[in-house]
Structure 1
Amino acid sequence: SNVGKSSLINMLCNNDKLAKTSASPGKTQLINHFEIISTAPVSEKSTREVTHKWYLVDLPGYGFAKVSITSRRRWEQMIENYLRKRENLAQVFVLIDARHSPQKIDLEFLENLKKWEVPFSLAFTKSDKENQRLVSKNVKDFLAAMRKTWMFLPRHFITSAVKKSGKDKLLDYINEMNEELAESGKE
């Protein structure tokens, strides 16, 4: 928890006040839905744009939070139910703090996503808070830890809400998914 989830949402939406940020972990205690309306060119050479409406959903974090064990268990069950039963869930972005070496709790959560057959990508956050050599090492080590049990690695992005880095790549990827969903009729 306190991986910079709300800050990343605010960065992606160009609105610093959309998701509430806090220095203490566990601020997000509900499932928050943000309706996003985005436009993208129909093709690289086209001046026409296509509009997509989609939802960015902010779930409580699964890591450390200053809450009771009862609250934590309730959150875990709520998150699991949401991820397993949400039929129109296109992608989960799992946020990993780039300042830290691989954490067991993150790897266990990814194993659950695999078991539940939930599509996901990784967003390494707070890359501005450490020197880039350490960030690169932590990302490399995390992916190496995943390779021990995963045949294929998910897409991953290195982000900083402060410097707005990774924003364009994340939004491009989301637009690609929206295009694929629109073409398949599942939008």
Structure 2
Amino acid sequence: MKINTSEFIISAVKREQYPVDNRVELAFVGRSNVGKSSIINAITNRRKLVKVSQTPGKTRLINFFLINNDFYMVDLPGYGYAKVSKKEKASWGNTVETYLTGREQLKRVVLLVDCRHKPTGDDILMYNWIKHFGYDVIVIGTKSDKLSRMNLMKSQKVIKDTLKLTSEDKLYFFSSLNKEGRDELIDLIFDDVVESKVEENK
């Protein structure tokens, strides 16, 4: 699949602020500093589609981006930043849970984990949360340019074991810096979901 156009549509906190046009949605979620903004910019080939915050944990909004005038990429707020207060963490949880609860337009969630580190308790919780709500999930290990091929193989095992991924679960590594495998990643994330939507509308 080729991404030709991408544009910011709206930032939302409440359900009534979400788009209501029933386009398919694919959401991205991960810890603060995992490189979520960078990977969305790399996928869309737009350097500043998503602002890369210098302050981890700052974003508390759900951002909707319209792709090819056809479907939405949804940027969920990052989690796990230690300096965020309990009140802010609760607010994040409510915002994300509201979005994940019964969102029929949402067809897949992309969970980003830093491939240099073992997935945290928050990552495990997020993965299980996605599964609990019944969404298809793809796990992407970010910042893969920082590891050698051998260490990437070790990271793959650690991520699979920690998140308890099955042979059917999808795990992919990507670097927003060198963008190697970008086209394959786009196909992995979007192709079957977008194609199935097209088939349904025939």
| TM class, shorter-length | 0.7 to 0.9
> Which one is further off, 103-112 or 64-73?
64-73
Aligned to 1:107: 124
2:170 partner amino acid: R
- The Cα shift of 1:153 comes to 4.0
Give the secondary-structure state (helix, strand or coil) at the position aligned to 1:85: coil
Q: Which has the higher contact order (CA 8 A, sep 6+)?
A: 2
2:129 partner amino acid: N
| Residue in structure 2 matching 1:9, options 40, 59, 81 | 40
Aligned to 1:83: 100
Aligned to 2:194: 178
Change over 3 Å in CA distance of 1:82–1:126 after alignment to 2: same
Note if contact 1:124-1:157 (Cα within 8 Å) is conserved in structure 2: yes
Partner Cα distance (1:65, 1:184) in 2? 44
Q: What's the CA shift string for 1:119-159, capped at 9, x where partnerless?
A: 21111101112333223211211112333xx6554212111
Partner Cα distance (2:149, 2:101) in 1? 36
1:171 partner amino acid: I
Aligned residues: 170
Aligned to 1:163: 178
Note if contact 1:102-1:138 (Cα within 8 Å) is conserved in structure 2: no
| Residue in structure 2 matching 1:94, options 111, 128, 136 | 111
Partner Cα distance (1:123, 1:151) in 2? 15
TM-score normalised by the chain length of structure 2: 0.77
Matched, 1:121 2:141: no
TM-score normalised by the chain length of structure 1: 0.82
Give the secondary-structure state (helix, strand or coil) at the position aligned to 1:90: strand
Give the secondary-structure state (helix, strand or coil) at the position aligned to 1:77: helix
Aligned to 1:24: 55
CA RMSD of the aligned region, Å?
1.9
Change over 3 Å in CA distance of 1:151–1:175 after alignment to 2: closer
Give the secondary-structure state (helix, strand or coil) at the position aligned to 1:62: coil
Note if contact 2:39-2:176 (Cα within 8 Å) is conserved in structure 1: yes
Q: Identity, % of aligned pairs?
A: 39
1:165 partner amino acid: E
Q: Gaps spanning 5+ residues in structure 2: where?
A: 1-31
Partner Cα distance (2:83, 2:91) in 1? 14
Partner Cα distance (2:184, 2:126) in 1? 24
Q: What's the CA shift string for 1:7-64, capped at 9, x where partnerless?
A: 0000011111110113431132211111010xxxxxxxxxxxxxx6110010101222
Matched, 1:33 2:48: no
2:63 partner amino acid: N
Note if contact 1:157-1:166 (Cα within 8 Å) is conserved in structure 2: no
